[in-house]
């Protein structure tokens, strides 16, 4: 059985549920438990949501690519999307957030801190800011990112199984 799943799709919010289902079936076929599937699909969903929100999609670079790879002890999830100069502010924020999460020995503490910050924000403020720290806490994943030479952002989450 193939240990990797590679899906490319249009950067359309309605596609997320379809990718969630594909990912879920793939993990089910590899014998993952319900809890593990819930956790890994949450990671995929949150990464794709960020990708669609902050990527710069212009034809012919209008797709999101998701790669899920299972090795002996690890599951790696990578999400790729195009970026350009206009997204440099978001990339700096992504960098700061990942560094901030890494600053905590226990990602639960980072999650609690972020919840406290959110609780003080106005009700109408639509920004969540919880997705990456949720991946670290609930998904028990280590986050990283880099920008390729062809201006594709790769955000990865690696979790032990």
Partner 1 sequence: MNKTEVFKSNLLHIELVENDTSISSNWKGKSIDRKPGLFITPILMKLLKEGNEGDKEIVLDFREIEYMNSSTITPVIKVLERAKRREGKITVLYKKSLKWQELIFTALEIFQTKDQKVQIIGC
Indicate whether 134 belongs to the interface with partner 1 (CB under 8 A): yes
Indicate whether 151 belongs to the interface with partner 1 (CB under 8 A): no
In this complex, which beta carbon is closest to partner 1, that of residue 121 or of residue 148? 121
- Radius of gyration for the chain, computed over Cα atoms and rounded to the nearest angstrom: 16
Q: Which of 3, 4, 17, 89 binds partner 1 (CB under 8 A)?
A: 17
66: how many CB neighbours lie within 10 A of its CB? Answer: 21
The DSSP string of 11-55 is S-TTHHHHHHHHHHHHHHHTT--HHHHHHHHHHHHHHHHHHHHH-
Indicate whether 10 belongs to the interface with partner 1 (CB under 8 A): no
Enumerate binding residues for partner 1 (CB under 8 A).
Answer: 13, 16-17, 20, 35, 38-39, 41-42, 45-46, 49, 53, 108, 111-112, 115-116, 118-121, 123-124, 126, 128-131, 134, 137-138
């Amino acid at each position: 059985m193939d240990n990797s799943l590679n899906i490319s799709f249009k950067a359309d919010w309605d596609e997320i549920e379809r990718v969630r289902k594909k990912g879920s079936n793939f993990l089910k076929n590899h014998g993952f438990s319900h809890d593990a599937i819930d956790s890994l699909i949450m990671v995929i969903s949150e990464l794709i949501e960020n990708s669609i929100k902050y990527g710069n999609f212009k034809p012919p670079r209008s797709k999101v690519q998701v790669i899920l790879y299972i090795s002996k002890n690890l599951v790696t999830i990578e999400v790729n999307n195009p970026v350009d100069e206009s997204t440099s502010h978001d990339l700096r924020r992504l960098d700061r957030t990942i560094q901030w999460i890494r600053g905590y020995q226990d990602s639960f503490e980072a999650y609690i801190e972020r919840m406290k910050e959110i609780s003080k924000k106005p009700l109408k403020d639509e920004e969540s800011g919880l997705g990456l720290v949720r991946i670290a806490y609930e998904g028990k994943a280590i986050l990283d990112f880099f920008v390729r030479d062809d201006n594709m952002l790769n955000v990865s989450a690696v979790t032990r199984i």
